[in-house]
Structure 1
């Protein structure tokens, strides 16, 4: 049995589907029950309701599991405490593997939510638990909630400079890589950058134009506008501050890793943005 935490989000759902397709029984952990049927339909054998901030809940969720795929909610202030709970539960259950779904460049202090994960990574490395750490780039799929609006307006917009280089990645590639890492003993105690080839908003817009057959313009959204929307959606002040720092950092540096590790892990080149757009356009 594999425990997948934060199972109701897009990452958790992708991992459940991938692990289940590979024949791995999955226990999905989430706080509430509104997505139980969806998670079962994706392949989860069990759904456990609990809070990652509650030590007892995490310990109970992990009981009987051979592995944990640990996804932490994004941009939360108590990330290090939650990481400690998961590590303690992994020790108690004597799991064969703790896979931490981390982020690119955890050593960058300007990205507070990345920086926090550096200390979780450190704690995992020092825990004595067999581990693998996936340092994952932002997803192509993050644009999908705005897909229909993009088609209507002819604008593909993000809250950073249109020429900022970004190592985006297909979430389907991430879940495939996670399955391979889980089942490869040589990946124990390894840290892996999981990201695709570098691309800018301008380059994305050019590909969108070509594939979709309509004009799509790259545009930078005001960061304050995006943060304000996040606040209306319930993102806490800490998360809002993380977003402001993140967009300011992206404006100057982007977020760039190497796609070679993902290529080695998959045994093929990572899905590029053009292939992703063609796939989405064919199913939209």
Structure 2
């Protein structure tokens, strides 16, 4: 039995779908199973991670665990304390590419991911760390603007990343959860192509059959309204990362292909998969 946290998120839902399609017994943890809309074959279970007394029951019969830090966060140690005694022997953690050799441990983003990484490594289970860089789904932040017009406003049009499709992150996670040979592996994950922010907007426009334009906003004029999904205390850190991405060398890895046996999906593929998220509402 594989337990998946964050099962209704972008990566979690893709992972659940892949594992179920491959016939693996799966327990999907979610706040509200009645609204999870997960594929048949997934056992959707309500999980309140703050209720430590109820955690051991979530792992009855489980041997593997996927931890998505965006869903679990500070509850990682408690989750591990319940999972390992219950019989979980393999843990795959979705961390962040911000964690790397020489990274500033005082950085809020690094610190947020590094502590759970260390907890997983010290858990006694076989462990694998996934460190993706830019998620292609970050472009969903522009969806409200694209649905309402053909001009997208934001900072750093020239910021360069290699966005990764959530299905590729899920595919690597699936292999690490199911196959032997991934213990102590730290996988840095990216998409196959380097694009600027403006080029990503153009690619979304192509998928929609529209001509979209990116209108660069000076950093000093950027407010929380452009990044409503980012905690206010993290906004400056995010903007620093965007600024650095304009001139820094962009990392591109071949890890997806090496682990899964197929090439990583392009951003154009991702945009085509997400057309519905950007379409204008019909009257």
Question: Into which bin does the TM-score normalised by the smaller protein fall?
Answer: 0.7 to 0.9
- Residue in structure 1 matching 2:215, options 219, 244, 247: 219
Q: Does 1:272 align with 2:266?
A: yes
Does the 8 A contact of 2:127 with 2:185 survive in 1? yes
* Match among 131, 154, 162 for residue 157 of structure 2: 162
What's 1:260 paired with?
254
> What SS does structure 1 have at the residue aligned with 2:49?
coil
Relative to 1, partners in 2 of residues 1:67 and 1:199: Cα closer, same or farther, differing over 3 Å?
A: same
Whole-Å Cα distance in 2 between the matches of residues 191 and 271 of structure 1? 20
Structure 1 residue runs of 5 or longer lacking an equivalent are none
Aligned counterpart, 1:128: 124
Give 2:236's aligned residue.
Answer: 244
Q: Which moved more, 1:24-33 or 1:124-133?
A: 24-33
The equivalences for 1:69-80 within 5 A come to: 69-73=66-70, 79-80=73-74
Residues 1:205 and 2:204 are matched in the alignment = no
Q: Aligned in 2, Cα 1:243/1:23: closer, same or farther, shift over 3 Å?
A: farther
Q: Where does structure 2 lack aligned partners over 5 or more consecutive residues?
A: none
Match of 2:29 in 1: 29
> Which residue of structure 2 aligns with residue 95 of structure 1?
88
Query: Which of 140, 149, 157 pairs up with 2:136?
Result: 140
The 3 A distance-change label for structure 1 pair 33 and 205 is: closer
Q: Is the 8 A contact 1:193 1:257 kept in 2?
A: no
Distance 1:215 1:12, change over 3 A: same
TM-score (norm 1): 0.81
> Would you say how many aligned residue pairs link Structure 1 and Structure 2?
269
Gap change, CA 1:59 and 1:113, over 3 Å in 2: farther
Give the Cα separation in 2 of the matches to 1:32 and 1:228.
26
- Aligned CA-pair RMSD: 2.9
C-alpha deviation, 1:186, in angstroms: 0.9
Question: Judging changes above 3 Å, is the alpha-carbon distance between structure 1 residues 177 and 170 closer, same or farther for their aligned structure 2 residues?
Answer: same
Q: Distance in 2 between matches of 1:169 and 1:70?
A: 19
Tell me whether 10-19 or 247-256 shows the greater mean CA deviation.
247-256
SS in 2 for 1:258: coil
Which residue of structure 1 lines up, in the alignment, with residue 176 of structure 2? Answer: 181
